[in-house]
C-alpha cells in the first residue's frame, strides 16, 4: 500500500489557500464583533473583542436607517422596511429576467444550430464578452427617459432582459448535453415547439436555471450602482449602505452602526445560501437518456 507523500508544492498550496481563507473570513468576523460594540469601545479596541455586547445596535440601525429620495419636486425619506421592499422588487425582477432570457435564447440556438441566426447570436455573445463596453450610462439613461422607463422598476427589469454574458453559454451547454430523444418523443406525440420548451426542456435544466437565478440574486442584492443611477426614487438596502458610509449626519454613521447594517443586510443572503447550498454547489449540467 502506497503512502501519500507530502511534497513542498502541497505544503505551499496549503499555505496559500489557508492565507486566502483567513483573508476572507477575518473581515466578516471583524464586522460581526464590531457591530456589537459601543463607539468608545471600538475607538479604544479596534481589533479586539467587545467589552460589552450591544445587541441594541441592530434595532437602532433598523429604526434610523433612512435615505432621502427625490419624488418629483418633493424629497421624501425611505426607511429600512421601504428599502427592503424596494430591494425585493428590484432584485427579484432583475434576477428573473436576467436568467429567463439567456435560458430561452440558449435553448433556441441549441435547438436549431443549423440556422444562421443561431450562429450570429452565439457570435455576438462571444464578441461582447471579449470587448469591454464603457461609457454607455449616459446613453442608457437618455434612452430610458425618452421611453418613459427611467426611474421605474419595469425599466430596470427590461435592462437586465438580455442574453449576453457567461450564463448564456452555461444554458447553451446544458441544452446541448440533453439527448434529442426527449424533444423528438414529444414532437411525435404532437407537442408544439412551445410545449416542448416549457414542459420538457426547461424542467430538465431546472437545476441550472435555479443555480443561475440564485447567483444573479446575490449579485443584484449587493448592487448599489444601478439603483443609484436608474432608480433614484426607489433606494435599495445596498444603496442605503452606500449612502450612510458617505454620510456622517445621523446617529448610525459610526463604524459599529455601519457594520451592524452590513450584518443585517447580509443575513438574507446567508439564509438563502444555507438553504440552497446544495443547488449552488452541485452539478448544473444534465444529459443522457437512461436505457
CA distance 113 to 131: 24
Q: 102-120: b or e for each residue (b if 16 or more CB lie within 10 Å)?
A: bbebbbbbbbeeeeeebee
How much is the pLDDT for 64?
85
Can you give the pLDDT at residue 68?
83
Tell whether pTM > 0.85: no
The pLDDT, as a whole number, for residue 284 is: 43
**Pair 64, 264: CB distance under 8 Å:** no
> Are residues 167 and 104 in contact, defined by beta-carbon separation less than 8 angstroms?
no
pLDDT of res. 291:
37
pLDDT for position 285: 41
**Calpha distance 178→187 (Å, rounded):** 15
| pLDDT-flagged residues of the chain (< 70) | 1-5, 134-135, 248-250, 279-291
Rounded (10°) CA dihedral 62, 64, 65, 69: 140
Q: Check residue 86 and give its pLDDT.
A: 92
The two most distant CA atoms of the chain are separated, in Å, by 79
Amino acid at each position: 500500500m502506497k503512502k501519500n507523500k507530502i511534497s513542498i508544492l502541497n505544503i505551499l498550496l496549503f499555505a496559500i489557500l489557508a492565507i486566502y481563507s483567513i483573508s476572507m473570513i477575518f473581515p466578516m468576523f471583524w464586522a460581526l464583533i464590531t457591530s456589537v460594540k459601543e463607539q468608545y469601545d471600538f475607538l479604544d479596541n479596534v481589533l479586539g473583542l467587545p467589552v460589552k455586547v450591544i445587541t441594541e445596535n441592530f434595532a437602532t440601525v433598523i429604526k434610523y436607517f433612512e435615505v432621502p429620495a427625490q419624488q418629483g419636486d418633493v424629497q421624501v425619506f425611505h426607511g429600512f422596511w421601504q428599502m427592503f421592499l424596494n430591494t425585493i422588487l428590484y432584485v427579484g425582477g432583475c434576477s428573473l429576467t436576467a436568467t429567463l432570457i439567456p435560458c430561452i435564447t440558449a435553448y433556441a440556438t441549441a435547438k436549431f444550430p443549423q440556422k444562421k441566426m443561431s450562429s450570429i447570436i452565439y457570435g455576438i455573445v462571444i464578441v461582447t464578452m471579449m470587448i469591454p463596453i464603457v461609457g454607455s450610462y449616459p446613453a442608457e439613461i437618455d434612452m430610458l427617459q425618452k421611453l418613459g422607463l427611467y426611474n421605474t422598476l419595469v425599466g430596470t427589469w427590461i435592462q437586465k432582459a438580455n442574453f449576453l454574458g457567461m450564463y448564456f453559454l452555461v444554458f447553451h451547454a446544458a441544452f446541448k448535453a440533453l439527448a434529442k430523444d426527449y424533444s423528438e418523443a414529444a414532437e411525435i406525440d404532437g407537442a408544439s415547439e412551445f410545449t416542448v420548451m416549457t414542459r420538457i426542456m426547461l424542467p430538465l435544466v431546472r437545476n441550472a436555471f435555479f443555480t443561475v437565478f440564485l447567483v444573479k440574486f446575490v449579485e443584484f442584492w449587493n448592487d448599489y450602482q444601478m439603483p443609484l443611477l436608474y432608480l433614484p426614487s426607489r433606494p435599495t438596502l445596498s444603496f442605503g449602505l452606500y449612502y450612510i458610509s458617505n454620510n456622517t449626519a445621523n446617529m448610525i454613521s459610526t463604524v459599529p452602526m455601519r457594520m451592524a447594517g452590513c450584518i443585517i443586510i447580509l443575513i438574507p443572503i446567508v439564509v438563502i445560501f444555507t438553504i440552497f447550498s446544495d443547488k449552488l454547489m452541485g452539478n448544473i449540467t444534465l444529459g443522457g437518456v437512461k436505457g
